[in-house]
Amino acid sequence: MKYLPRLLTYLMAGLGAIALMILAFRPSPIQVDLGVAKRGTLLVTIDEEGKTRIRSRFIVSTPVAGRLNRIDLDEGDKVKQGLIIARIDPLPLNSQVREVQAKLREWQAQRAGVVTQRPKQEALLQAQARIRAAQAKQREAQAKVEQVQASLEQSKRDHRRAQRLAADGAISRQELESAQLLEVTRARDLEVEQREAESTAAEVAAAREELSILRAEQRDPDYMLDVYDARIASAEAELARLADDAARTEIKSPVDGEVLRVLQESARHVEAGTPLLELGNPEEVEVVVDLLSTDAVKVKPGTKMLIEHWGGEQTLEAKVRYIEPSAFTEISALGVEEQRVNVIAEFVNSPVPLGDGYRIEGRIVVWEGHELLIVPLSSLFRCQQAWCVFVVEDGRAKKRQVEISKRSDFEAVIQQGLEAGEVVILHPTEEIEDSRRVAAR
């Protein structure tokens, strides 16, 4: 019995050595990152870089050509609607006005000269009266011709009758000669009257020709009058244009706002339409984010947009105002052609601590859920055709199949398979197996 304590001592030492050997050769726990399944809010977003811009921008240009005076405004200066912000030297326009006025007076004088050369109405009336008088004389002469013609015919019949009677001895020779003389006299009277009738006809023709000439002279200036009328109308239109241009040599601000850029600083000659200033209201700032067209179809007007990484600590909130109807082609950093669409959003709260052209990162919320069971997306992995996670129970990894629904870039919604508060392994590697001991990193 005296050896029993010594035996127990050896036995305990042996068991301790065996336990030390077991502990020495047992696999050590795998160091892992851990996460917790918890209830919260999940946002499904489309994230893209964008920039701010002033909604209503105005490029003020020169309305007329001329010499521009130096612009005294600088970027950032406030302007009011109607304030004179630039001037064009009006002296050349005034010289042009005087030149056109001189031409106008000249053409008006020439037109008046053409009018004075036109035959008077009295001359036309007198010519018409002469025609009527000549026609009356012609009718009278024609009546006398007809009368003498009838007398000649009668004298010819009397002469023939006298010849027959003289042959029968019924009249004397003297009576025959008297009948013959009367016929000759009537023939000569007819010739006189006929020449008189021809003379009156010539007078009628001459009077008509005179009237025709007067009427032609009356019409001839019409062409020149039309020419001068056209020139006068052109000069008057040019005067109106120059007067309008002269009134626009003082260029005024179209809106209340701020000078964004001065495009022409020095005095110089400029053509009409030359941009001078860019104006805008810095309080009307909006966000422009270009999305892939496949993402843009998921966005609707009114969709929430979160503005991050803009230089401040807080997240700004905006609301999609509209999606541009037309896409454009852009080459990505990898050299791939992409169809992209601009999405325009307006800030919910004002004033906005951003200016024009500032870089931002926009997160467009296309789905939002509250009081959902969510886990980090990095805890999920594929197992067969399902999703699985490793849950930590008593220091060991337990593989568990789960069902998920919505997910964002960093989190996923668990429909079935987990409870709130359970600890899951993040970024599980191939070393981690079911029931393997793990420890928090």
Average pLDDT over residues 194-215: 76
In whole angstroms, give the CA distance from residue 117 to residue 216: 12
Q: What is the pLDDT of residues 298-354, one digit of tens each?
A: 999 999 999 999 988 899 999 999 999 999 999 988 889 999 999 999 999 878 889
Q: How far is CA 310 from CA 8, 245, 313, 317, in A?
A: 75, 46, 8, 12
pTM listed for this prediction = 0.58
Using an 8 Å Cβ cutoff, are 280 and 56 in contact? yes
CATH fold label, 95-247: Helix Hairpins (1.10.287)
Give the domain 61-88+249-280 fold. Answer: OB fold (Dihydrolipoamide Acetyltransferase, E2P) (2.40.50)
User: What CATH number is given for 30-53+282-440 in this structure?
Assistant: 2.40.30.170
Residue type at position 361: E
**What are the angstrom distances between the C-alpha of 368 and each of 185, 206, 349, 371, 407?**
136, 107, 21, 11, 10
Helices 173-247 and 91-117 cross at an angle (nearest 10°) of 170
Residue 379's alpha-carbon distances to 31, 33, 385, 427, in angstroms, are: 15, 10, 17, 6
Please, where in the chain does CATH 2.40.50.100 lie? Answer: 61-88+249-280
The residue-averaged pLDDT of 180-206 equals: 80
Residue range 161-177, pLDDT digits in tens: 878 777 777 777 787 77
Comparing CA positions, the residue from 384, 227, 245, 362 lying closest to residue 308 is: 362
The Cα–Cα gap between 437 and 395 comes to 6
Output phi, psi for 142, to 5 deg: -65, -35
* Strand boundaries in 69-203, DSSP class E: 78-79, 84-87
User: What integer best gives the mean pLDDT of the chain?
Assistant: 84
CATH 2.40.30.170 segments of the chain: 30-53+282-440
% pLDDT > 70, the chain: 88
Q: What is the DSSP letter of 378?
A: G
Q: How far apart are the first and last CA of the chain?
A: 53
Q: What is the mean pLDDT of residues 250-257?
A: 88
Is 70 exceeded by the pLDDT of residue 374?
Answer: yes
In this prediction, residue 379 carries a pLDDT of 93
CB 411 within 8 Å of CB 26 = no
Indicate the pLDDT class of residue 153, thresholds 50, 70 and 90. confident
Residue located via tokens 């169809």: 339
Residues of the chain with CATH 1.10.287: 95-247
